[in-house]
Amino acid sequence: MRIDDTDEFEVPKMPPSPPNYERVEPRYFGLTPHLLVGALGAAALLAGVALLAGGSVAIGVLLIVAGVFMAMLFTEQARRRRSSSLDRAAAAAVDHSLALAGFTRVTVVSWTSASRRAAKLRLEAMRLARERSHVQYDLGGAVHAGDEPRMQELRDRMRELDAEIDRRGREAAAAIAHAQRRTRDERRAVAATQIRRP
């Protein structure tokens, strides 16, 4: 007897079983107790500082490097777990430090770029202002000589220079305003979230 694709067949009944969930957490170097790593890191840092103060430079530096490594390992595990209040406090401190570092980077980059752009535009405006002074001097000579075509040409050039100087001033102000906006937006991003009850 051949079973066709469209034939019905009965599925054997199985007793219902509840689903089993398992949460997998990454572990460094096998089973590392992260609180022990944190305590050892703090002790290594303190001992390294004490040895540096006491004159043992080589051992002090090695202990400080080991302490920093263990502290980094502890904070990485604490940021992943966030199970105890110590984990949450360490994770919050690291998250806040990273946010402040990002804020500082964006602020420095924004203001450096804006300052460089504004300084360049102001230098150009000063160069144009010097050229305008020369054109104005020549205009005085043309007025004195009664040279109408030359006077009109110099007046037009002064208007062009005035417009260019004004445009560079506006662009410099816009660059500074852009840096202020970026800094303000970044400051809002790192500000502590406040929960207000309705």
Q: Is the pLDDT of residue 101 over 90?
A: no
- Which pLDDT band, with edges at 50, 70 and 90, does 3 fall under? low
- Nearest by Cα to 189 from 101, 114, 67, 126: 101
pTM for the full predicted model: 0.56
**What residues does each domain of the chain span?**
32-81, 99-189
Q: For 142-192, how does the pLDDT look when each residue is reduced to its tens digit (9 = 90+)?
A: 888 888 998 899 999 999 999 999 999 999 999 999 999 988 888 887 776
- Which pLDDT band, with edges at 50, 70 and 90, does 128 fall under? very high
Return d(Cα 146, Cα 140) in angstroms, integer.
10
Query: What tokens does 96 get?
Result: 């806040």
Higher pLDDT, 149 or 24: 149
